[in-house]
């Protein structure tokens, strides 16, 4: 009996002092946004800061689980998508209320969708649903069922609802009445946003306790990442959502427990050559840039492993192609891993008519292979990459002049004057679905950077990509879409219009006072599960060492 009591006590003691048990409901979480949210209206969100506020406050019908990358029921308990991908029927949870107490019904969904699709609203969220001309038909046969029919098929229709935060049709507070775990309680322009727990939030934990656990989240607006890091070290902040490799390495050196690597992210750094026919470049340069072997040779001559090891302190992986391996479903695992192979590069260039003479690479006409590589000024990481590429290519006798320009000047050259040879920039991927990259891959797209806004595809392989991208958008199943997009990735790897360099790791910092974090590669990386985060019982600001 005594023994049983002893073991019972020990078990109790262990449970009482384990981190999970020390965590408690309540408290205020502190972290920073790196920009001012331009709006709190969820259908007008167009910037990262506002998107993160929307994620914390908005209630959506279907939620993309940031960890599993699978769709989960949220305000809708189930949904059916028609085979033609035009119609979706959603079955809503019953008895829910907005943060101000207004009841939630199918009328609110209809109101939100109509507002979002109204051309007068200019909703960036609605743009993703605009696949063809015509009006959207929304039917509400009952308070808990809504059927939405779009004028044309939409690829990944159900997934798009992850971005649609439902607004109240009847609340006088309009967009400030929310269905998410928190609501905006206070906003000081240029300074901070205070989110408070939504008392009417529908979700509960496995034990039936109401979520979220936190009472509030205090978000400071802080653009300077170094100040953010200093404040984190002082214990004034408990999370940092994105760190660069250098900051992360220093933090890891001082306190390994708080530095968390979520793994390879979706973002890539890439290089491309200007292939615009009307570009003000010498004809011989245009000929080089149009030559697939030239582009592939440059790709093979770049030591991506060194870029990862030196520029990113090991917190990056060589990029395979347009889709990062972090995008589990859409990544084409059949693509070959890019390897550093100067001999292959030389062989490709020789095959294309170039010759290596006296440590200098020349084309068939005797022109020295020399080009400028532009990138945006002020980005030390990107500039380091450019200098390393410069040295790699100098081994082949190719001269690269690195030029940094302020961003507006760079954009001007990329999109209007086309007065540049090659460009090094990063691609920010916020969406897993390839449909969001239509303007990149269609030859008529404005983000088809190597040769944008083409009237007809300039090459046969660009024509094939156009065809495949259109087919994947209207294919009835994800499996068929995947097969089409795999082929797109294969063509891009073979033709190298973009030379993908690295995929950065997603690096975050989480104070030991926060319990329940599980950083992921999708945004918002460190606080995607904010509703289940807790603070340690003894946690107080300033405790972080």
Partner 1 sequence: MSPARLLRTTCGTFLCAVFLAGLFAGGVTHYSYATQFREAPNAAPSPTHLFGTDSLGRDLFTRVLYGTRVSLLLAPAAAFLSTIIAGVFGAFAGFVGGWFEAAVLAVADLSMALPLLFVLLALRAMLPLDIDPVVSVAATFILLGLLGWQASLRVVWAASKNLRDSDFLLLARATGCPRSRIILRHVLPNLRPVLLAQFWISIPLYVLTEATLSMLGLGVMEPLPSWGNLLRGLEDFSVVHANPWRALPLVLLVVVVICFQLILPAQEEIA
Q: What is the CA radius of gyration of the chain?
A: 26
What is the smallest separation between the CB atom of 375 and partner 1, expressed in angstroms?
Answer: 9
135 vs 227, beta carbon nearer partner 1: 227
Residue whose structure tokens are 């990063």:
426
Find residue 151's DSSP bridge partners. Answer: none
Contacting residue, 22, 377, 447, 474, with partner 1 by CB under 8 A: 377
| Upstream peptide bond of 278 is cis (omega within 30 degrees of 0) | no
Residue list 211-230, contact with partner 1 (CB under 8 A): 226
Question: Does residue 80 touch partner 1 according to CB under 8 A?
Answer: no
Verify binding: residue 378, partner 1, rule CB under 8 A. Answer: yes
The binder of partner 1 chosen from 167, 301, 388, 510 (CB under 8 A): 388
Q: Is 362 in the site for partner 1 (CB under 8 A)?
A: no
Q: Are the C-beta atoms of residues 110 and 146 closer than 8 Å to each other?
A: yes
CB 310 within 8 A of CB 248: no
Residue 213: which H helix or E strand, with range? none
Give the residue with the Cβ less far from partner 1, 39 or 372: 372
Helix axes 380-394, 292-301, angle to 10 degrees: 110
Binding segment for partner 1 among 73-81, 125-133, 305-313, 348-356 (CB under 8 A)? 305-313
Q: Does residue 75 belong to the site contacting partner 1 (CB under 8 A)?
A: no
When asked if residue 395 is in the footprint of partner 1 (CB under 8 A), the reply is no
Residue 47 or 306 with smaller CB distance to partner 1: 306
Q: What distances in angstroms separate CA 286 from CA 295, 298, 422, 423, one per listed residue?
A: 12, 15, 11, 15
Minimum CB distance to partner 1, residue 235 (Å): 17
What 3-state DSSP class applies to 332? Answer: coil
DSSP-derived secondary structure for 362-393: E-TT--B-EEEEEEETT-HHHHHHHHHHHHHH
Say whether residue 398 binds partner 1 (CB under 8 A): no
Using the rule CB under 8 A, which residue among 380, 428, 540, 543 binds partner 1? 380
Q: How far apart are the first and last CA of the chain?
A: 45
- Please state whether beta strands 239-240 and 422-427 pair in parallel, antiparallel, or not at all (unpaired): unpaired
Does residue number 287 form part of the binding site for partner 1 (CB under 8 A)? no
Identified binder of partner 1 from the candidate list 145, 185, 194, 403, rule CB under 8 A: 403
Q: Does 342 bind partner 1 (CB under 8 A)?
A: no
CB of 520 to partner 1, least distance (A): 27
Nearer residue to partner 1 within complex by CB, 118 or 306:
306
Q: How far apart are CA 343 and CA 336, in angstroms?
A: 18
How many whole angstroms separate alpha carbon 38 and alpha carbon 280? 38
Q: For the chain, how long is the longest CA-to-CA vector?
A: 96
Asked if residue 341 binds partner 1 (CB under 8 A), the reply is no
What minimum distance in Å lies between the beta carbon of 325 and partner 1?
25
387 binds partner 1 (CB under 8 A): yes
**3-state DSSP helix/strand/coil % of the chain, to nearest 5:** 35, 25, 40
Nearest alpha-carbon partner for 507 in 232, 305, 270: 232
Residues contacting 6, CB < 8 A, separation 6+? none
Nearer Cβ to partner 1 (20/411): 411
Please give the Cα distance from 536 to 515 (Å, whole number). 7
Contact 524, 52 (CB under 8 A): yes
Q: Is 306 in the site for partner 1 (CB under 8 A)?
A: yes
| In contact, 514 and 63? CB cutoff 8 Å | no
Which element (helix H / strand E) includes 181? none
Q: Provide the mask over 228-267, with x wherever binding to partner 1 is found by CB under 8 A and - wherever it is not.
A: ------------------xx--x--x--------------
Using the minimum distance from each CB to partner 1, give the nearer residue, 36 or 246.
Answer: 246
Member of 100, 215, 236, 383 binding partner 1 (CB under 8 A): 383
Contact code string over 174-213 relative to partner 1, x by CB under 8 A: ----------------------------------------
Q: Is 401 in the site for partner 1 (CB under 8 A)?
A: yes
- Give the range of 15-23, 38-46, 419-427, 501-509 binding partner 1 by CB under 8 A: 419-427
DSSP string, 142-169: ETTEEEEE-SS--TTHHHHGGG-B---S
State which residue, 387 or 491, has the beta carbon closest to partner 1.
387
467 binding partner 1? (CB under 8 A): no
Tokens standing for 87?
A: 């119609």
- Interface residue with partner 1 among 347, 405, 491, 518 (CB under 8 A) is 405
The answer to whether 94 and 457 have CB atoms below 8 angstroms apart is: no
Distance CA 38, CA 407 (A): 21
Quote the least distance from Cβ 387 to partner 1, whole Å.
5
CA distance 305 to 296: 17
404 touches partner 1 (CB under 8 A): yes
CB of 49 to partner 1, least distance (A): 23
Closer to partner 1 by CB, 187 or 288: give it: 288
Write out the residues near partner 1 by the rule CB under 8 A. Answer: 226, 246-247, 250, 253, 306, 309-310, 370-372, 374, 376-380, 383-384, 386-388, 390-391, 401-406, 409, 412, 419-421
């Amino acid at each position: 009996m005594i023994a049983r009591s002893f073991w019972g006590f020990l078990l109790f003691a262990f449970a009482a002092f384990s981190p999970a048990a020390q965590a408690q409901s309540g408290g205020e979480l502190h972290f920073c946004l790196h920009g001012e949210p331009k709006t709190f209206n969820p259908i007008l969100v167009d910037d990262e800061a506002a998107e993160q506020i929307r994620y914390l406050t908005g209630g959506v019908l279907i939620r993309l689980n940031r960890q599993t990358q699978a769709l989960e029921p949220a305000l809708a308990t189930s949904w059916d998508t028609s085979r033609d991908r035009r119609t979706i029927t959603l079955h809503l949870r019953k008895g829910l209320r907005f943060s101000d107490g207004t009841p939630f019904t199918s009328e609110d969904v209809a109101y939100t969708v109509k507002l979002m699709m109204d051309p007068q609203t200019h909703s960036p969220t609605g743009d993703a649903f605009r696949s063809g001309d015509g009006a959207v038909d929304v039917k509400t046969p009952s308070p808990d069922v809504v059927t939405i029919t779009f004028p044309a098929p939409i690829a990944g229709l159900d997934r798009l609802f992850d971005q649609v935060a439902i607004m109240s049709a009847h609340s006088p507070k309009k967009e400030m009445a929310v269905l998410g775990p928190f609501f905006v309680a206070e906003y000081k322009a240029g300074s901070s946003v205070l989110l408070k727990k939504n008392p009417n939030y529908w979700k509960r934990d496995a034990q039936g306790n109401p979520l979220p656990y936190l009472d509030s989240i205090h978000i400071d607006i802080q653009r300077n990442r170094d100040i953010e890091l200093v404040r984190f070290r002082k214990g004034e902040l408990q999370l940092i959502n994105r760190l660069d490799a250098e900051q992360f390495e220093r933090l890891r050196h001082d306190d390994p427990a708080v530095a968390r690597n979520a793994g390879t992210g979706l973002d890539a750094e890439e290089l491309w050559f200007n292939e615009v026919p009307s570009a003000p470049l010498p004809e011989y340069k245009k000929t080089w840039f149009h030559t697939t072997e030239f582009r592939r040779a440059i790709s093979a001559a770049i030591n991506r492993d060194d870029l990862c090891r030196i520029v990113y302190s090991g917190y990056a992986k060589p990029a395979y192609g347009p889709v990062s391996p972090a995008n589990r479903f859409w990544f084409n695992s059949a693509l070959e891993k890019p390897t550093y192979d100067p001999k292959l590069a030389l062989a490709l260039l020789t095959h294309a008519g170039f010759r290596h003479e006296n440590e200098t690479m020349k084309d068939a006409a005797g022109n020295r292979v020399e080009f400028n590589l532009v990138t945006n000024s002020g980005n030390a990481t990107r500039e380091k990459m450019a200098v390393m590429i410069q040295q790699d290519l100098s081994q082949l006798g190719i001269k690269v002049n690195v030029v940094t320009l302020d961003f507006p000047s760079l954009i001007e050259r990329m999109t209007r004057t086309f007065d540049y040879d090659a460009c090094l920039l990063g691609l920010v991927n916020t969406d897993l679905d390839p449909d969001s990259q239509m303007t990149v891959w269609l030859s008529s797209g404005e983000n088809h950077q190597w040769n944008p806004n083409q009237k007809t595809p300039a090459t046969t392989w660009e024509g094939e990509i156009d065809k495949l991208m259109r087919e994947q958008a209207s294919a009835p199943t994800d499996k068929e879409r995947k097969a089409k997009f795999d082929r797109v990735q294969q063509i891009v790897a073979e033709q190298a219009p973009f030379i993908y360099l690295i995929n950065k790791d997603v690096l975050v910092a989480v104070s030991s006072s926060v319990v329940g974090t599980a950083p992921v590669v999708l945004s918002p990386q460190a606080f995607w599960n904010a509703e289940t985060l807790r603070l340690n019982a003894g946690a107080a600001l300033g405790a972080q060492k």
